[in-house]
Amino acid sequence: RRPPPAMLAPVEPVFDDGKLWYPTDVDPRQIPDGYAWATAFDAEVAAVRRSLQPPSRQLVAHYSENSALLAVPESRNLSRHHSDPDARVGRTVHTAALQACSPSGIRVQVDGRQVALFRFHDLLIAVKAECPHAGKDLTVGSIADIEDIDGTRFVITCALHKFKFDLRTGECVEGKASELEIYGARYEFGPDGRPIVWVGFPSLDSSFFD
């Protein structure tokens, strides 16, 4: 069982670069490296696919041979029961591979908010911990770096409905959902010389504090 989100004593935030910054108790080295995590996840995906048996081929009755088959089902749920067999297999493989992997990020509570922390080498990323679509914990989703015409994208795929979000812009790049909340993330060295992750939330203009 995963431990509960870290709880911190109230502290005074630091205003900088248009954000209010709060310290966490997380050493950035505690956050899984996204590149290494994605490599391990891809290996699990390959292993799951190898374990799958080819689907059995069965003869089914033609509609003209059985009038009972003409009955219209009471309801259809295409969002949960995707009509594309390859897509259904892909969802199953993704879920099974995630269950074999450790979380891709760390979830913490900062100033009363649930925050998910991710890392790609020295790039720190902080986002709202819950998926905008259905509230699933994003730290149990999969992360990856993707090359496209705009350069490198860091993307997370929610474990529940497989929606994909850009971790730097918050854009939902696959599926229909509102944008993911993106926060500032950096590290500073504490009094004991240990690096500590700080999370920055959008704030009022600095002139407000004058």
Whether the pTM exceeds 0.75: the reply is: yes
Backbone angles phi, psi at 94, to 5 degrees: -60, -45
Tell me the pLDDT tens digit for each residue of 47-61: 999 998 666 555 555
Tell me the pLDDT tens digit for each residue of 11-27: 678 999 899 999 999 99
For residue 156, the cross-strand partners are: 143, 165
Tell me the pLDDT tens digit for each residue of 148-166: 887 899 999 999 999 999 9
End-to-end, the C-alpha distance of the chain in Å comes to 47
